[in-house]
Structure 1
Amino acid sequence: MATSSSSSSGREFELEKEIKRQEVSLDELSSLSSSRRVYQKNCNLFFLTTSEKAKTSAQKQLDSAKSQIDKIRSRT
């Protein structure tokens, strides 16, 4: 049981880092004009896209990380 607890706390820490990363990304993308082109990382490749599409993707990742961390916290 102790390994499960330490494993979930490690996962929770990683999710907290991901949430901070996505929040910073959203803030940075929000400061750009909507027509601005940006590079978005997909796996190990970068693709040129609009800042609006990148913001949408970052918001989805943020929402996913928040829901995962909520599930972990509700178990403990």
Structure 2
Amino acid sequence: MSGAATNSSSDSHHNLLKEVRSHEVAIAELNDLPPSRAVYQRNGNLFFRTTVQKATASEQKQVDLVKSTLQKLSSS
């Protein structure tokens, strides 16, 4: 591999790890809210009102997707 390809791979791996941490922090914050509390979730450039449970499930799905991308990147 060339140096540029290694840096690009390393940068994307680092960015994916930051994204996982970001989603994990969001899940922790959502878990601290009462279940009856309404929250807003970003979808594109818009925010939609939803429940804590739905927002947590969505964040967990994002964590799973990024982790699977990380595994694919690590295995190649």
| TM-score (normalizing by structure 1) | 0.90
**Structure 1 vs Structure 2 CA RMSD:** 1.0
Structure 1 runs of 4+ with >3 Å offset: none
* 5+ residue gaps, structure 2: none
Q: Tell me which amino acid in the other structure corresponds to 1:47.
A: F
The CA distance in 2 between the partners of 1:66 and 1:43, in whole Å, is: 21
1:69 corresponds to which residue?
A: 70
2:45 corresponds to which residue?
A: 44
The CA distance in 2 between the partners of 1:64 and 1:5, in whole Å, is: 23
Question: Residues 9-62 of structure 1: CA distance to partner in whole angstroms, max 9, x if unpaired?
Answer: 111111011001000000000111222100101111111110100000000000
Map 1:1-20; keep pairs closer than 5 Å: 1-2=1-2, 3-20=4-21
Instruction: Report the count of equivalent residues.
Output: 75
Superposed displacement of residue 74, structure 1:
1.5
* 5+ residue gaps, structure 1: none
Q: Tell me which amino acid in the other structure corresponds to 2:48.
A: F
The CA distance in 2 between the partners of 1:32 and 1:9, in whole Å, is: 35
1:54 corresponds to which residue?
A: 55
Secondary structure, aligned partner of 1:35: coil
Structure 1 vs Structure 2: percent identity of aligned residues?
47
1:29 aligns with 2:56: no
